[in-house]
Amino acid sequence: MQDKFFIILLCLAGLTLVLILLQRQAKRHKIIVWKLAAFASGLALLVAILAACQLARISALSYIHPTRIPVTQEPSHFGISAYRQVEFLTPDGLLLRGWHIPTRNGAMIILVHGHGGNRTQLLDEAALLSQEGYGVLMYDARNCGESEGQVTTFGLLEANDLRAALDFILDQPGVDADRIAALGHSMGGATVLLAAADLLEIQAVVVESTYANLESNLRAHLDRYTGLPYIPFGPLVIFWGEHDSGVELNQVRPVDVITAISPRPILLVHGALDQVMPVENAYQLYEAASEPKELLILKGAGHCCLARDGGQIYQRRLLEFFRKTLQ
C-alpha cells in the first residue's frame, strides 16, 4: 500500500506543478480563465485514469506473481522421520519439488497448499495423517516455494500440477491405486476440485477454506484483498490480471464442477470466522455438490491453520472421513 500511496502523491504533485505553471502563463498572456480550467480538468482526469490503471496493475501483479516464501521447515520438525525430497514434471514441463512420506497402510493423500504459500503450510495435516499410517505427497505448486513457474492462475493451470503429483504417486511402491485422496487449502482446494472432476483415480476429496467462484469474491471483497474499492478499480484489476496471466476469471469456478466429484465422497471444511474467503463459499459449494458430501464449519477458526484452530473436532472428522472413504 505504501507504493500505491507514493504513486498517487507523485501524480498529484505533478498535477500541482503543471497547474502552477499554467497559472503563471495565464497571468503573463491573459489566457481566458475557462480555457485554462477546461484544460486543467482534462489533465487532472487523464492523470487520475493513468494512476488508477497503474494501481490496478500493481494489485493484479501481486496476485499472479506473489512473492515466494522460502521453505524453512521440514517434516522432521513435526515428528515425521520417514520422508524424502522429490521432484516431478508437470504436463506443461515445469519441475515441481516436494516431500514424499511413504504409506504404511497402502493409502496416499496428496496435499495442495494455498495461494502464495508452499508445502509447509500443510505440515500439521501431514503429521496427523502420517501418524495414522497414510502416505502423503506434499509439493510446492507452480510459481511457489522451490518449484518452477512464473505465473499463478488460482487453480486453473495448477490442476496440471495435481495431475503430475498423481502420476508420481502411482509409480511409488506399496501404493494402492484404489485408495488415493487429495486435500487442498484455499486455492489448493480450488485446484483439487478442478482437477479431481476429471481425475477419477482420486477417490476422495477434502477442501478447506475454498472459493466457490473467484470472480464473485473479487467483486464483493476487492477492498479487503487489495485496499482498493471495487469501483473504479475492480474492472481494471480483473482486466490486468486476465491480461498478464492469460486466464479468464470465469474459467475458475469450482462451484460449476464440484458435482462431477460424485459418486466419490467430498468433505468441505471452512472456518466460520474466515475473513479472506467468507464461509458463504462453503455453503455454495455444499449446495452445488452431489452426494455423498459432508460439511464441517469450525466456529473458532479463520482462513488458515484449520488443523490447529479446529482442534479435536477437525482432527476427528478428517480421520473419520478418510477411514470411511479409503478403506
Rounded to whole angstroms, the Cα distance separating 117 from 96 reads 14
Domain chopping of the chain, boundaries:
1-64+217-250, 77-213+252-325
The 3-state DSSP class for residue 269 equals strand
More confident residue, 46 or 77: 77
Most confident of 8-22, 23-37, 280-294: 280-294
Contact 118, 140 (CB under 8 A): yes
For residue 38, CA distances in Å to 11, 16, 18 come to 19, 15, 14
Percent of the chain with pLDDT over 90: 68
Strand ranges across the sheet with 180-185: 84-89, 95-101, 135-139, 108-112, 180-185, 204-208, 266-271, 293-298
Average pLDDT over residues 54-65: 78
Residue 50: pLDDT above 70? no
Most confident of 30-34, 61-65, 205-209: 205-209
pLDDT grade for 105, boundaries at 50, 70 and 90: very high
- Name the residue among 306, 256, 312 with its Cα closest to residue 284: 256
Grid cell at residue 155? 487453480
pLDDT of residue 61: 75
Average of per-residue pLDDT values in the chain: 88
H or E element at residue 233:
helix 230-245
Grid cell at residue 188? 489448493
Q: Which architecture, in CATH terms, is 77-213+252-325?
A: 3-Layer(aba) Sandwich (3.40)
pLDDT grade for 241, boundaries at 50, 70 and 90: confident
- Name the residue among 205, 171, 203, 166 with its Cα closest to residue 189: 205
Grid cell at residue 65? 506473481
| Dihedral over alpha carbons 1, 226, 156, 198 (to 10 degrees) | 140
The number of residues in the chain equals: 327
Residue 143: pLDDT above 90? yes
